[in-house]
């Protein structure tokens, strides 16, 4: 992944929908057992963030300290700090429909090419490619390199709306701690993954599209029941986004969720630079 501080490739975990090699320091046989038991697979290509960034993460309630793993008590819902939900006039709704359709259209793909430009095939490159395909480009350079996860987050923070509630189709959805991005042996990696919301079910389950393994897949997250994998009817509520490793349990999409991010998508769009 392209980044001012790092260009290392990632290896994060999720779902039973794809399987790929895992770079965590675990024997291959153990990984195979994890995949078989949990339905978790690895994915790669999200931004490594410098170790020192964690203590400055804007959504943390307090400093994490030196513990080996994050947990919900370290996370601060934005709550009253949530940005206002964007206006959804006719132009914005049309743009969001295009973004949702673009996200759905790339599911199963192993590349995104828009206007002759091939987008980088990692989580942020895929998210940027979906936006380009939906007619809302965020790649200021226009070469498919685009912004990394932190860059997309900062763009939303500067120009749009960051929220822990009220997701909209086409929103970015950001996650922390999906893998050991900085390679320090601890799970302390903010803004390590991003996807794009495709739609929201009536029960609040968010369906989003992201790159996992070697393909682009559609998965689910329910913030009302963050540790529940399926409801009583068998419907998937949350997919795993990080596999278990040693004493550290697997984590679901909802458990690693940070924020939804809306960019201006109507005529009021701001310049990217």
pLDDT of 160 reads 93
Residue 192 has pLDDT above 90, yes or no: yes
Specify whether the CB–CB gap between 227 and 242 falls below 8 A. Answer: no
Q: Please state the rounded mean pLDDT for residues 213-238.
A: 95
Q: Which two tokens stand for residue 228?
A: 């529940």
pLDDT of 188 reads 83
Most confident residue range from 2-6, 181-185, 240-244 = 240-244
pTM of the model: 0.74
Residue 112 has pLDDT above 80, yes or no: yes
Segment 121-162, tens digit of pLDDT: 999 999 999 999 999 999 777 777 779 999 999 999 999 999
pLDDT of 32 reads 35
pLDDT of 268 reads 62
Segment 10-63, tens digit of pLDDT: 444 444 333 333 333 333 333 333 333 333 434 444 643 333 333 344 444 333
pLDDT of 245 reads 84
């Amino acid at each position: 992944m392209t980044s001012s501080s790092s260009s290392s490739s990632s290896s994060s975990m999720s779902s039973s929908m794809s399987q790929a090699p895992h770079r965590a320091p675990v024997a291959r046989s153990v990984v195979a057992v994890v995949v078989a038991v949990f339905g978790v697979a690895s994915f790669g290509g999200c931004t490594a963030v410098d170790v020192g960034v964690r203590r400055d993460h804007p959504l943390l309630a307090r400093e994490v300290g030196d513990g080996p793993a994050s947990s919900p008590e370290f996370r601060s819902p934005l709550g009253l700090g949530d940005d206002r939900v964007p206006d959804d006039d006719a132009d914005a709704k049309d743009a969001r429909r295009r973004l949702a359709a673009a996200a759905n259209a790339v599911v199963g793909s192993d590349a995104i090419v828009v206007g002759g430009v091939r987008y980088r095939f990692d989580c942020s490159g895929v998210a940027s490619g979906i936006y380009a395909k939906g007619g809302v480009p965020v790649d200021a350079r226009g070469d498919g390199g685009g912004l990394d996860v932190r860059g997309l987050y900062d763009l939303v923070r500067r120009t749009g709306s960051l929220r822990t509630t009220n997701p909209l189709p086409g929103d970015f959805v950001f996650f922390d701690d999906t893998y050991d991005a900085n390679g320090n042996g601890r799970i302390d990696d903010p803004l390590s993954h991003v996807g794009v919301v495709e739609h929201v079910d009536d029960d609040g389950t968010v369906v989003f599209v992201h790159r996992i393994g070697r393909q682009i897949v559609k998965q689910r997250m329910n913030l009302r029941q963050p540790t529940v994998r399926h409801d009583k009817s068998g419907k998937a509520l949350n997919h795993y986004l990080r596999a278990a490793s040693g004493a550290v349990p697997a984590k679901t999409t909802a458990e690693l969720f940070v924020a939804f991010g809306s960019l201006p998508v109507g005529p009021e769009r701001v310049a990217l630079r």
